[in-house]
Structure 1
Amino acid sequence: MNKKIAGLFTSVIGLSILLAGCSLKGEQAVDEVDVPQDTTYVDELEENALEPGAAEGEAPAEGEAPAEGDEEKQPEEGAKEGESATAKRQLFLLDANGMVVPMTFELPQTNEVAKETLEYLVKDGPVTDMLPNGFEAVLPAGTTINGIDAQKDGTLVVDFSKEFNEYEAANEKKILESITYTLTQFENVKDVAIRVEGQDLAKMPVDGTPIGKSYSRADGINLMDNGITTVDSESVTLYFPAEAVDGTPYEVPVTERMNSNADNDYEEIVNALIDGPSMDSNLSNVFNTGSALTSEPTLKDGVLNLEFNKEVLSNVDEAAITDQLMETLVMSLTEREEVEAVSVKVEGVEEVFNEHGEAYAEPVTREQYVPAEKL
């Protein structure tokens, strides 16, 4: 009997030591893990999340293994219990001046990214409580998305419910621009085709704005008449800052005509930004008087290199330029597909800094201001 008790006592002590060791290792593991933030900043969704020719959210055929990225998405590890993971996405809304403008929001992660994003453009929809003061959604209240179909050529076909037709003629182009720019933020979407209750639209239903087979960013946004109407001109989209009701700055894209026979189109674009927006546009000019390029812009390996005179600096002693100026340049110039990033130098200045004293050691990409992902 004494041997049995001794053996049992030895086993209990051994088990206690083992459990203590496991507990210690577990605590060390927790200490070593950097817990991610609750929000997921999506740089790129899986390329197969929406296969060309497949309806968004469509399940694989019976017996067929799901493609990579088609598996049901689980909440991110960083999401707290009871909370859904989110991703940053742009919504093109109407501002207080009636301009179509991009605003970035945290939207819930979902397998139906395009459908969800469009649902946040509907008046009285889920975006309502998220809207900054002075901004509004563009799609008529009650509009639903019947289906979305991705074509191999990069066209995204969207089928809306009949409520889509219930808008004022003055908002027709704004609705078309909002849908197009919101969906073409996704890298593999080139243009958008529209259906209502399964019927293709070659023109908008109220005022007859032509759509053709599809609508793209090449058709422009917030069109401005600058008096250039020559055949050899082209449309360019420039970004200028505006100020919200609460004083928060935001970028407004406007499309205007520019002579396309210029020796250097990039120089023409930068000069247009330096000249600033029209006086009656409620937009601001971010460049100081006297700002100018000191040499022609050059493009190498996707990076557009710019050199300005010192008048471009907001603080000469600190070699700083305003964050708004950099954003205006990058957003405007990367509208060109071949421009992936912008490098800004100042003549006679070794290194340029932002408003917070951080050096622009690398070229600045569009992704530093807007989310980038694929459907």
Structure 2
Amino acid sequence: MTHYRLFRRAALAGALALPILTTGCGLFSQEASNQIDPPQNAAQNNASQGEGNVTGQTDTQGQQTQMTVYLKDSNNLLAPVTVLAALGNEEKAGQKALELMVDGGALASELPEGFQAVLPKGTQVKDFKIVPDQKLAIVDFSKSFGDYSASEERRIVEAVTWTLTGMEGIQKVQIWLEGEELTEMPVEGMPLDQPMTRTVGINLEAAEGLNYSQSTAVTLYFSAVTPDDEPYYVPVTRLINRTNNKAKAAIDQLIAGPLSNGTRLNAVITPDVVVKDITKKNDIVTIDLEDSAYKEGVQQPAEMLEAVVLALTENTGFGKVQIKINGKTDVVDTNNQSYSQPVSRPDHMNAFKS
């Protein structure tokens, strides 16, 4: 407990707060920073209506498109990484994102230290289309897509699925190979008989002794640090005992922190914080956290509040989050972001120095 009390003191002083991108690096892009603290009359619905789907992951900025792709970090975990890429008039954002994820491809020289592309070398996207009324993306890969080791199979499926479902209008993904729909992956036979959604999970983990047939999956966001000491978020889908209150269970697990499984993930909330209440209404999730160390007017760790927003929007599909601490809404984080009003999930995260 001493370690966590020291953590809290440092965080409240701003020492451990993870920075919002304002000078070229950080957890969220500048645009995302604006969404965390939206203008009073900002658009009210920037997130998906369906569970786990996040809209607006690509935004054209002149000839540059900001997009979030999933890459493998030094812990062999997938993490979202925001990049800028040129998108021609005839190019599709989803296809471009996948091309950036090919080992040895166009993004190779621009990857942040400690990150790797996950699609096999030589993979080409032969065709990419979206079926709007089904919110379905169909991607047809070349033969090289099947040239991977068995241990990479699930990671590849997760990376493709989470990258594409992070884009507006896509909730499902269907994978083809050389013009033929796949019913299973080529190496280990992971089933693909149904289109993939975010329910496939990402960076799966489970507590020891869990009965998988009686489990619920919650996706959490912990922090990690690159070899260059740049902080970033890592999503983890954790299997827990079955529950009917997924939102509360997710935050309880976030408070419990990372599992001791050898990965270098960092807790984002101290264990003395308690979930007092969670309610849902009109696309807004309201959470009241109880924290005996909270003092009005003292900035709260940015990584804590951001992780709560990410976890609640991911696990409920609701578009906005209202955070209260000890019943108070006048909460400001160590990046001077206000949480006095409901905030949206950011479109982009983990933007590193170019």
Structure 1 length as normaliser, TM-score? 0.72
Contact 1:288–1:312 at 8 Å: present in 2 too?
no
Partner of 1:291: 273
Partner of 1:362: 341
Q: Residue 97 of structure 1 aligns to which amino acid in structure 2?
A: N
Contact 2:100–2:106 at 8 Å: present in 1 too?
yes
1:166 matched to 2:131? The reply is no
1:311 to partner: Cα distance: 4.3
For the aligned residues, what is the CA RMSD?
2.4
Could you tell me how far apart the structure 2 residues matched to 1:333 and 1:40 are? 22
Q: Percent identity?
A: 30
1:128 matched to 2:108? The reply is yes
1:233 to partner: Cα distance: 2.6
Contact 2:329–2:339 at 8 Å: present in 1 too?
no
Q: Residue 314 of structure 2 aligns to which amino acid in structure 1?
A: E
Deviation digits for residues 132-174 of structure 1 (CA, Å, limit 9, x no counterpart): 1010101111111110122231221111111111111111111
1:235 matched to 2:217? The reply is yes
Deviation digits for residues 307-347 of structure 1 (CA, Å, limit 9, x no counterpart): 1223475xx46422111112211111111353111111111
Partner of 1:18: none
1:225 matched to 2:209? The reply is no
Indicate the SS of the match to 1:297.
Answer: strand
Could you tell me how far apart the structure 2 residues matched to 1:106 and 1:90 are? 9
1:274 to partner: Cα distance: 0.5
Could you tell me how far apart the structure 2 residues matched to 1:270 and 1:348 are? 17
1:349 to partner: Cα distance: 4.5
Q: Residue 202 of structure 2 aligns to which amino acid in structure 1?
A: I
Indicate the SS of the match to 1:335.
Answer: helix
2:240 to 258, 268, 288: 258
2:121 to 137, 141, 149: 141
1:103 to partner: Cα distance: 0.7
Could you tell me how far apart the structure 1 residues matched to 2:30 and 2:86 are? 10
1:350 to partner: Cα distance: 5.9
Could you tell me how far apart the structure 1 residues matched to 2:235 and 2:75 are? 13
Could you tell me how far apart the structure 1 residues matched to 2:328 and 2:151 are? 49
1:326 matched to 2:305? The reply is yes
Indicate the SS of the match to 2:346.
Answer: helix
Change (3 A) 1:337 1:297: closer
Contact 1:40–1:86 at 8 Å: present in 2 too?
no
Q: Residue 182 of structure 2 aligns to which amino acid in structure 1?
A: L
Q: Which moves more between the two structures, 345-354 or 127-136?
A: 345-354
Contact 1:140–1:163 at 8 Å: present in 2 too?
yes
Indicate the SS of the match to 1:336.
Answer: helix
Q: How many residue pairs were aligned?
A: 291
Contact 1:241–1:251 at 8 Å: present in 2 too?
yes
Indicate the SS of the match to 1:250.
Answer: strand
1:288 to partner: Cα distance: 1.9
Partner of 1:303: 284
Could you tell me how far apart the structure 1 residues matched to 2:242 and 2:168 are? 26
Matches within 5 A, 1:1-375: 85-110=63-88, 111-151=91-131, 152-226=133-207, 227-229=209-211, 231-262=213-244, 264-280=245-261, 281-293=263-275, 295-311=276-292, 313=294, 316=295, 318-347=297-326, 349=328, 351-367=330-346, 369-370=348-349
Contact 1:143–1:164 at 8 Å: present in 2 too?
yes
Indicate the SS of the match to 2:85.
Answer: strand
Deviation digits for residues 350-372 of structure 1 (CA, Å, limit 9, x no counterpart): 6111103343232221126559x
Indicate the SS of the match to 2:65.
Answer: strand
Deviation digits for residues 45-80 of structure 1 (CA, Å, limit 9, x no counterpart): xxxxxxxxxxxxxxxxxxxxxxxxxxxxxxx8x85x
Could you tell me how far apart the structure 1 residues matched to 2:329 and 2:346 are? 26
Could you tell me how far apart the structure 1 residues matched to 2:101 and 2:255 are? 33
1:187 to partner: Cα distance: 2.6
1:234 to partner: Cα distance: 2.0
- Structure 1: stretches of 5+ with no match in the other structure: 1-38, 44-75, 80-84
Contact 2:184–2:193 at 8 Å: present in 1 too?
yes
Could you tell me how far apart the structure 2 residues matched to 1:165 and 1:369 are? 30
Q: Which moves more between the two structures, 127-136 or 146-155?
A: 146-155
Highest RCO, 1 vs 2 (Cα 8 Å, sep ≥ 6)? 2
Contact 1:304–1:342 at 8 Å: present in 2 too?
yes
Q: Residue 233 of structure 2 aligns to which amino acid in structure 1?
A: E
